[in-house]
């Protein structure tokens, strides 16, 4: 079985998508799928390329038992899809990221808003602003807590989708 690659995506890859990356990576490990899935994150823009995650994102992760210290921001570009190592599943943090990723990704790459996997939001049209993980960058620390809560709520459904994708591959 080939490894599945999942990339979480936000604007600059320093707040929402790194939080999602580390939460999802742990959940997949806990589900016994860590060996079959590579999880990373990226930003639509390259403003923060090479930077660590925002200090508040790292603090929230640390407060909840995740280690986001190794993170370094990167930008997703068309070159990510060259060859066989490109992402299979792109998890957008908001509707604008979703739209950008649909334009960027080649056919066959699944693009989904991460909160679409939150059972409390079942029935919300996809993509939709109602599925956005709000950008906490210009706000206070509690916005990062809110982001973590939203991502953790969507993670079990995301793991289920990844399990289904792995099953489809055989």
Nearest to 92 by CA among 16, 36, 14, 5: 16
CA torsion sign for 31, 74, 88, 122 is positive
Q: What is the distance between the alpha carbons of residues 145 and 142, in angstroms, rounded to a whole number?
A: 5
Active site residues: 10, 16, 135
For the purposes of burial, counting CB atoms within 10 Å of the CB of 59, is it exposed (0-12), middle (13-18) or buried (19 or more)? middle
The structure tokens 């890859």 sit at 13
- In the chain, where the domains are located: 4-169
Range 4-169 has CATH code 3.40.50.2300:
yes
Blockwise average pLDDT, block size 10, the chain, 170 residues: 91 98 98 97 97 98 97 96 89 97 95 96 88 96 98 98 93
pLDDT at 82: 87
List alpha helices for 66-140, DSSP H. Answer: 95-104
Q: What is the C-alpha separation between 129 and 160, in angstroms, rounded?
A: 23
Alpha-helix residue ranges (DSSP H) falling in the chain: 16-30, 55-63, 95-104, 141-169
pLDDT of residue 1: 55
Output the pLDDT for position 87. 95
CA 83 and chain centroid, separation: 22
Q: Is the pTM of this model over 0.85?
A: yes
């Amino acid at each position: 079985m080939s490894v599945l690659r999942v990339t979480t995506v936000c604007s600059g890859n320093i707040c929402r998508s790194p939080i999602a990356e580390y939460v999802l990576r742990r959940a997949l490990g806990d589900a016994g799928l860590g060996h079959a899935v590579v999880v990373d994150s990226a930003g639509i823009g390259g403003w923060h390329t090479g930077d660590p995650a925002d200090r508040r994102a790292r603090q929230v992760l640390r407060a909840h038992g995740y280690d986001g210290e190794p993170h370094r921001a990167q930008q997703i570009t068309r070159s990510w899809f060259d060859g066989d190592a490109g992402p299979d599943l792109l998890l957008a943090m908001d509707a604008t990221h979703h739209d950008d990723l649909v334009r960027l990704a080649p056919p066959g790459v699944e693009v989904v808003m991460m909160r679409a996997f939150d059972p409390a939001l079942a029935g919300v049209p996809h993509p939709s602003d109602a599925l956005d993980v709000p950008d906490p960058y210009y706000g206070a620390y509690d916005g990062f807590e809110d982001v973590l809560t939203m991502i953790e709520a969507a993670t079990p459904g995301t793991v289920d989708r990844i399990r289904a994708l792995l099953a489809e591959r055989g």
